[in-house]
Structure 1
């Protein structure tokens, strides 16, 4: 088979829309890191116990870990993302100590390795299922999973002047809202919630989809940031009923008569 025909064959099942979108997300992350100064690297990120250096090291090692899934799919073998939980944690700790220049080089090199792994995929490899550390994952979803890691952890750097939830691409936000709402759906500890993103389609989540106890509305990116624990949701509008006090409305936490309506505390996504 000649090279041109082989290239077309490789991309016929590959997630072609996710691949260029991932490239754009990676480019935005690299631009942020290029704009950082050395002092910011050791400062706290939005993730408890992690500096920005830890976040960047994790992003780089995640590229290599997901590359392992692609490599295993091509070989028809199960290759774990990490040798062990301990090895994963140690790699992040080691990387967090690197200089800003070293971190930037690592991010670029790991992204290039991942891109090369994607380019080498075949239809058969894309059709397989990989052993992601959180459970089975269709290999065709690996590029989207990688983009998810890049976008969320870009915000986790805690540099809102350079990148914040408001900078997340709108189409990505819409997809993630649906995904996260599904993850909370049916969970008894989460009240029934109607999520209403501005200019988007309403979603339901929580213990029951029949009747919403709360309606939470606002920009899609603000809803997603709250749902994923990256915001306290103070800019969101909450509507619902407080026992004995009727309907109340407000932002974040709302007082109606003697009752108070607040955004619920959501459990970790896992």
Structure 2
């Protein structure tokens, strides 16, 4: 190919127009949900509050991985971005409202020295509504690293943190608070962490299995019913839209009265619909 150039291709994809005429609805709601599961290994100095993430195992369901190398890069990059959120990055303001850490010396972004060894794990599925069965691998892989690190800290020292980032001073204050609560002087004598089982886990597992079964049925159905992306969270695809709980009802076409004076969101919706209809001619 040296004398002919690179082999390239292009394509387009339009998400099902399942949203209302609100801001952002013109782009269509996400036709599929991705899922992630992360495990973090941390080293916590209980006498200083310093936390270091040693390793991360990051599994992400991206549907069909059209470019596995890019997906792995997204997962690793998301871990780096999330590491900053959970351990160091914080915008601090003075009493007059001015930013007191406006440069990269004081606004701590993780460097290569703080990055753990990340093992990206691609979990492939075949989503019936995604392009070629694919889902996203952009923002989704960023989210799990935060709770993974927080839970790992709790598993290590038994201290639960509910404010980010987990800076050494903030974590040490929580350690001192727990020491006072338990009436001990040495943080090394703190009681070990406990894991409380939540009955919500059973509900989520049941809904996830049901969601998977419906996707498999749709894959082999020549005339599949309308797809609802809220099935995992309680919406019943077998019930007509106007009979659903109002929180899950999906209305594709806005009321006529709204379209008479639609505003920015409605105008965008009409523009996208017009382009879509013209493309089908």
Q: TM-score normalized by structure 1? A: 0.24
> RCO greater where, 1 or 2, for CA within 8 Å and sep 6 or more?
2
Q: Which one has the bigger helix percentage?
A: 1
Q: TM-score normalized by structure 2? A: 0.24
